A = this chain, B = another copy of it.
């Protein structure tokens, strides 16, 4: 399934991958610089966001290099005749980052300890199952039924995660303020919307006849999905952590003098 891409097709993927590198790097810097604005008791969720974008930054540098090495440039076309493009980086990334993303969401809520532990264990197992079951289909031939079978298998833990987030978690939000609950709603719908991008991208090689177009669309969609699911998701978790810090009356060191001068 080696493909030939036009300059524009190749560059679209190339620039999408580079865009993700820049976004992850910027998010990493941002989460590191603003963590002191969050009260210490709510900082763990921001720490997890920082790990997620750091891990993704590393993997996108690798994916970018692998994409580059997979093609040669001849007669103004990019021909995929080099080392195989390594789709495995994405799955290793997700294996690490998806449990961490779900943990961000659980940790920032500060539920009872027993509840938190139970949610973390079940969501992590489901996330690992979802990704491990997806991989054999990802590397299967585009016209094989294996692709569809593994996709269906991978959907089962995905639906379980949605059940936990929307039904089970919905019942334990009575301790959260209205502001936090609103942000949390946005967060869950972002999970629904952005995680919905992945299965579509996954199935494209089976749905589209032109394998070059399918590959370009797939890489661009995965890249876009990762920017929404990691930096944007992390920003919303940060917003919840900041709202909770304010509710707890947290004032960043150095702000006290400024506050009192307002009353002068």
Contacts and interface: CB of A to CB of B under 8 A. Distances in A.
A14 B84 contact: no
Interface string A138-157: 00000000000000000000
B39 A254 contact: yes
Given A47-B33, A51-B30, A89 B40 contact: no
Interface string A177-199: 00000000000000000000000
A80 to B, nearest CB: 13
A93 B261 CA distance: 40
A88 B15 contact: yes
Interface in A39-73: 39-41, 44, 47, 50-51, 54-55, 58-59, 62, 73
Nearest to A7: B84
Contacts of A25: 54-55, 58
Interface residues of A, number: 54
A147 B243 CA distance: 47
Taking chain A's interface residues, is the majority helix, strand, or loop, or is none over half, making it mixed?
A: helix
A26 interface: yes
A18 interface: yes
A258 B51 CA distance: 25
A96 interface: yes
A209 interface: no
Interface in A217-264: 248-255, 257-258, 261-262
B257 A22 contact: no
Given A26-B96, A251-B257, A18 B89 contact: yes
B258 A40 contact: yes
Contact of A26 (B54, B82, B253): B54
A37 B40 contact: yes
A26 B48 CA distance: 10
A122 interface: no
A13 B100 CA distance: 24
A19 B62 CA distance: 12
Contact of A39 (B23, B54, B258): B258
A112 interface: no
A130 to B, nearest CB: 17
A36 B44 CA distance: 12
A121 interface: no
14 contacts: A15-B92, A19-B95, A19-B96, A22-B58, A25-B58, A26-B54, A26-B55, A33-B47, A37-B40, A40-B253, A41-B258, A248-B258, A249-B261, A250-B257
